[in-house]
Amino acid sequence: MMTSDISSSTHFRSSLWVPLLLIAGGLFLAGCGSTAPVVQSVSGPDTLETDETGTFEASISEEADEPLTYTWEFGDGATGSGLLANHSYGSTGRYAIRFEASNDGGSDADTISVRVVPPPQPASIASINATPNPVDEGESVRFSSNLQGDSPVSRSWSFGDGSSSMSQSPTHTYEDPGQYTVRLEASNDVGEDTRTVTVRVNRVLPEVCTTVSEMNSTFFDRNSSTLTEEAEESLQENADILSDCPNLSVQIEGFAAPGERNVQSLSEDRAEAVSNFYQNNGVPGSRVMTGGQGQVEGVTSKKGGTRQYRRADSLPQREDDGM
The Cα–Cα gap between 232 and 259 comes to: 25
| DSSP-derived pairing of the beta strands 140-148 and 171-173 | antiparallel
The Cα–Cα gap between 283 and 250 comes to: 10
Question: For the chain, which domains are there?
Answer: 39-117 (2.60.40.10), 124-202 (2.60.40.10), 208-321 (3.30.1330.60)
Q: Which amino acid, one-letter code, is at 227?
A: L
The Cα–Cα gap between 185 and 316 comes to: 46
The Cα–Cα gap between 297 and 18 comes to: 153
The Cα–Cα gap between 89 and 87 comes to: 7
The Cα–Cα gap between 28 and 241 comes to: 119
Q: Which residues pair with 178 in a beta bridge?
A: 201
pTM for the whole thing?
0.56
DSSP alpha helix (H) spans, 138-244:
208-211, 229-244
Q: Going residue by residue through the chain (323 aa), what tens digit of pLDDT does each one get? A: 444 454 444 444 445 444 444 444 444 444 457 999 999 999 999 999 999 999 999 999 999 999 999 999 999 999 999 999 999 999 999 999 999 999 999 999 999 999 999 999 999 999 999 999 999 999 999 999 999 999 999 999 999 999 999 999 999 999 999 999 999 999 999 999 999 999 999 988 889 998 999 999 999 999 999 999 999 999 999 999 999 998 999 999 999 999 999 999 999 999 999 999 999 999 999 999 999 999 987 655 555 556 789 999 999 998 764 33
Other Cβ atoms closer than 10 A to 125? 20
Contact 59, 72 (CB under 8 A): no
